[in-house]
């Protein structure tokens, strides 16, 4: 009986390929080719010795010709035997990128029935930077939504550490670590996901929305380049909520905070 998935790990778990069933016909073919293989190898090894010891009325060229025929026959039998044994190649199921690149190992435990907010971390950080607030908007929104019962997942582009260094958040000599992002943004270790180099956080955000049924994104990015790829995700106006600042209050479009979030 198939059980409904409870967590994201259940939903994205790779399906193990079924092993091909063995049959009597395949076993019989394997046995015949194995016996033929041994027989021909024995004949190839014994023929020169028999000819040398017994010295039959057989010319050397005839013996060599017969030996070549046996070798050709053995190659045929060996190849056929190998084909029977190989069958279909064993394929290893591919792990979904959301799980494969999750170094904090928390994505697989996200419950599908939990409210989840997906942050486009780099985007919201740049929004805060443009308004002279740096990391404050992201941390403040995450804190408030956490209070309101949301599970927080924050995706950062791979270059986030270098961006923070350029902005003077920490010295270039300091080792890059998730702990730094925790301190700067007020996030928890199991809320931070730095995507691998060469990948875009946008796709991780949209994939999360695709597989987490009770979720929305926090981003000022319109994701216009992905409308054709994620039409079911980017439907309506509730899947993405932008951030704005009005009269020293940090607001979330399409969502009213239970408690106002003020600029400190």
| pLDDT tens, residue by residue, 171-229 | 999 999 999 999 999 999 999 999 999 999 999 999 999 999 999 999 999 999 999 99
**82 found inside a domain:** yes
**222 found inside a domain:** yes
Give the pLDDT confidence score for residue 86 in this predicted structure.
52
67 shares a domain with 167: no
**8 found inside a domain:** no
**55 found inside a domain:** yes
Tell me, what CATH number does 230's domain have? 3.40.50.11980
> Is the model's pLDDT at 247 over the cut of 60?
yes
252: containing domain: 97-262
Count of domains in the chain? 2
**14 found inside a domain:** no
Give the pLDDT confidence score for residue 31 in this predicted structure.
77
202 shares a domain with 181: yes
Which residue among 86, 110, 131 closes a domain? 86
Give the pLDDT confidence score for residue 94 in this predicted structure.
86
206 shares a domain with 80: no
143 shares a domain with 250: yes
**220 found inside a domain:** yes
236 shares a domain with 137: yes
DSSP per-residue string spanning the chain = -PPPP-BHHHHHPPPPPPPPPP-HHHHHHHHHHHHHHHHHHHHHHHHHHHHHHH--S--HHHHHHHHHHHHHHHHHHHHHHHHHHH-SPP-PPPPPHHHHT-TT--GGG-BTTS-EEEEEHHHHHHHHHHTT-TTHHHHHHHHHHHHTTPEEEEEE-TTHHHHHHHTTSS-TTSPP-HHHHHHHHT--GGGEEEPPTT--HHHHHHHHHHH-SSEEEE-S---GGGTTT-TTTS-SSSSEE-EEEETTEEEETTB--SS-EE--
**1 found inside a domain:** no
241 shares a domain with 112: yes
173 shares a domain with 118: yes
Taking the model in full, what pTM does it have? 0.73
Mean pLDDT of all residues in 237-259 = 96
Give the pLDDT confidence score for residue 88 in this predicted structure.
53
133 shares a domain with 216: yes
201 shares a domain with 103: yes
Give the pLDDT confidence score for residue 118 in this predicted structure.
98
Give the pLDDT confidence score for residue 47 in this predicted structure.
67
**7 found inside a domain:** no
Of 70 and 202, the structure prediction assigns the larger pLDDT to 202
> Is the model's pLDDT at 56 over the cut of 70?
no
229 shares a domain with 134: yes
Give the pLDDT confidence score for residue 54 in this predicted structure.
65
- From the centroid of its chain, how far is CA 161? 23
């Amino acid at each position: 009986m198939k059980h409904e998935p409870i967590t994201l790990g259940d939903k994205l778990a790779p399906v193990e390929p079924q092993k091909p069933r063995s049959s009597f016909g395949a076993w019989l073919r394997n046995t015949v080719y194995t016996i033929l293989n041994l027989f021909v190898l024995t004949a190839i090894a014994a023929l020169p010795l028999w000819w040398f010891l017994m010295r039959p009325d057989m010319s050397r060229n005839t013996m060599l010709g017969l030996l070549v025929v046996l070798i050709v026959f053995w190659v045929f039998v060996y190849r056929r035997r190998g084909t029977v044994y190989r069958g279909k190649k064993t394929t290893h199921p591919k792990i979904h990128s959301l799980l494969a690149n999750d170094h904090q190992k928390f994505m697989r435990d996200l419950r599908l029935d939990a409210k989840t907010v997906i942050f486009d971390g780099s985007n919201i950080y740049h929004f805060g930077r443009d308004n002279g607030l740096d990391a404050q908007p992201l941390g403040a929104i995450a804190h408030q939504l956490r209070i309101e019962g949301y599970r927080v997942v924050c995706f950062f582009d791979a270059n986030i550490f270098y961006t923070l260094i350029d902005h003077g958040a920490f010295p270039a000599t300091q080792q890059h670590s998730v702990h730094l992002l925790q301190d700067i943004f007020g996030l928890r270790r199991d809320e931070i996901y730095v995507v691998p180099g060469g990948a875009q956080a946008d796709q991780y955000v949209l994939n999360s929305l695709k597989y987490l049924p009770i979720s929305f994104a926090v981003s000022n990015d319109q994701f216009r380049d992905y409308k054709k790829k994620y039409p079911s995700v980017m439907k309506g106006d509730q899947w993405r909520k932008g951030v704005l600042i009005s009269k020293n209050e940090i607001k979330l479009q399409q969502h009213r905070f239970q408690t106002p979030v003020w600029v400190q």
